[in-house]
A and B are shown apart, each in its own frame.
Chain A
Amino acid sequence: MIAAHLPALQIVLPLLSAPLCVLLVRARLAYALSLIVCWLAFAISIMLLGQVLDGGVISYRLGGWAPPWGIEYRVDLVNAYVLLIVAAIGALVITYAGPSVAREIGGGRETLFYTSYMLCLTGLLGVTITGDAFNIFVFLEISSLSSYILISLGTDRRALTASFRYLIFGTIGATFFLIGVGLIYQATGTLNLADMANRVEPLGASRTVQAAFAFMAVGLAVKAALFPLHSWLPNAYAYAPSVVSAFLAATATKVSIYVLIRTYFSVFGPEFSFEVMTLGPVLMVLSIAAMLIGSMIAIFQDDIKRSFAYSSVAQIGYMVLGIGFATVLGVTGGMLHLFNHALMKGALFLALGCLIWRTGSVSITAMQGLGKRMPWTMAAIVGGGLSLIGVPLTVGFISKWYLLLAAIDSGLWWVAVFILISSLMAIIYVWRLVEVAYLSPSPDGAPSGEAPLVMLIPTWVLVLANFYFGVDTRVSVGVATEAAKYLLGAGS
């Protein structure tokens, strides 16, 4: 039965399509292949979520070797949810990619772009689906190496230095994770995450386990761009090709945060992470700093992509804040924001891609009078921006609402104040764009006209998703709550 092999297909299909893209040589063929494979991956992730909702945890033995010796792909509610996010964004962004890549990358390098894109998608899906600690490292590196390439394809030469910087940071982060995995293997003798969780518990607060926890937490925080380890992110997102910015902003850091959640809650268990290691206050201070400083810097950027990149740093703060509460409400808020931020930043970066396609620039001056020149693109930016601020009826509101509830529920009302302050700052940096685009006249001879429909439609699908999931919260909140309960309740 093919249905039994869905977990493997989720990874194998994009992985195989990557070399095929090189062999196809022609950009158009490579685009068609990646398009088909990405949508197939999306379909598979939906079916996997369905299977998990019906029948509970799926354990897939790679090559038939029984865990804990063989590599196990383990799909539960938490990673089925993350898989769905990654695959959905992957499919929407690749649909959009055709004209944008042809214009921004071009020069015979398009097939290589599709290859790296498929490899990156493979890596991200792999990190999410696997139940093996070393396997996480390998997939993490697959996605990272391909994302360095993707970023360096940007037209500005600063893309190269941004990519190099990310390479240094990313490698240090991944190597820290590897050290952590080594230490925990020394302590437990296993690499299977579920098995590890059972064996870590009796060890209690041994020094090896504590060191392993510290290395893994710091390494993953680098990959997730948690303040103050975020300094690779702004330039990388700002100078990458717009397709890449949208894809990475919506998926890459989310997957790292997923692994963080997995290590904190599933492997080490909430008691160890939050009582023995007192992670809660650490995460809260860092995430609040991220929210305030990220938003503050975002206000003063003239390059809009850079502004939204700093806003991503702030939004990662919200997700980690939710995890820091270590309550069902808090983790629900964090998981929701993971989903919601993918929707809003995906929409915003795709809309900026339309802007670049037409005007070739994302500086704030290029947006003068944009409301008249590119009404649909600008409306998409406003839609995404509203969601970023957290206006009711958008997804941004839902996740911030849950975070506020969690703050009040934990008796930390001052955290709620910081959430509100950071949201007010988001109003400032979104309003700046609205003001320039609608209230100032277009400069003479400014290029006008919309981007092609193939780019506008995926952008608008994401924008409308922002509003749809802001009104109908049954699916997103339902799954996030269940996932949070599962993480905090079962422990493993």
Chain B
Amino acid sequence: MEWPGLYNYWIVIFLMMAGLYIVMARANLIKKMVGLSIFQVSVFVFYLTMGKVSGGTAPIVIDGDPVYSNPLPHVLILTAIVVGVATLALGLALIVRIKESYGTIEEDDIEKQETDA
């Protein structure tokens, strides 16, 4: 196997782990959302890689006998991107509301206020 081989998949795995790690390790809610987005993006890259055929072109009818990439995963990921945007927007909106009612977006401080109450 020639190096770097299927390097796209290494990128996918790196992004996925980095995203998950940020979600788990960071107490700041905004940073959690950033991690979540990175995690989702890794899956988008995964789908895009999956659909690519070496030497393939965009699925538009052209003369000759071209090799086409598989457009289906790309279309699926358009939908998933929309879902990702909606999730990010909703998450940020919730963070704004949390900031308004707790005065902080640090998970530790919020937990402290909740246990005191």
Contact = CB atoms under 8 A, between A and B. Distances in A.
Interface of A: 134, 137-138, 141, 145, 148-149, 152, 157-158, 160-161, 163-164, 167-168, 171-172, 175, 178-179, 182, 185-186
A164 B47 contact: no
A137 B40 CA distance: 13
A114 B42 CA distance: 34
5 contacts: A141-B86, A145-B87, A158-B114, A160-B101, A182-B73
Contact of B94 (A134, A163, A175, A179): A163
Contacts of B40: 171, 175
Contacts of B87: 141, 145, 167, 171
Contacts of A171: 36, 40, 87
A164 B95 contact: yes
Nearest to B16: A179
B110 interface: yes
Given A145-B86, A161-B114, A167 B91 contact: yes
Given A171-B40, A182-B50, A164 B29 contact: yes
B18 interface: no
A234 to B, nearest CB: 13
B114 A152 contact: no
Nearest to B29: A164
Contact of A172 (B23, B95, B101): B23
B98 interface: yes
Contacts of B23: 168, 172
A172 B98 contact: no
Nearest to A152: B94
A148 B90 CA distance: 8
Interface residues of B, number: 28
Contacts of B50: 182, 185-186
Nearest to B114: A158
B90 A167 contact: yes
Contacts of B114: 158, 161
A158 B115 CA distance: 11
A329 B90 CA distance: 43
Interface in B30-77: 32, 36, 39-40, 43, 46-47, 50, 73, 76
Contacts of A182: 43, 46-47, 50, 73
Given A171-B40, A182-B46, A185-B50, A149 B102 contact: no
B20 interface: yes
A145 B43 contact: no
Contact of B32 (A141, A168, A185): A168
B39 A175 contact: yes
Given A157-B101, A163-B94, A172-B23, 19 more contacts: A134-B76, A137-B83, A141-B83, A145-B86, A145-B87, A149-B90, A152-B94, A152-B97, A160-B97, A161-B102, A161-B110, A164-B29, A168-B23, A168-B36, A168-B91, A171-B87, A175-B40, A182-B47, A186-B50
B17 interface: no
A167 B87 CA distance: 8
Nearest to A181: B76
B8 to A, nearest CB: 13
Given A164-B91, A179-B46, A185-B50, A172 B102 contact: no
Contacts of A138: 79, 83
A257 B5 CA distance: 39
Contacts of A161: 98, 102, 110, 114
A145 B50 CA distance: 27
Nearest to A141: B83
A178 B80 contact: yes
A134 B76 CA distance: 8
A168 B25 CA distance: 13
B18 to A, nearest CB: 14
A172 B73 contact: no
Residue of A137, A148, A167 most packed against chain B (CB within 10 A):
A167
Contact of A148 (B29, B43, B94): B94
6 tightest A-B CB contacts, nearest first: A157-B101, A141-B83, A164-B94, A160-B98, A160-B97, A171-B87
A163 B20 CA distance: 19
B73 to A, nearest CB: 7
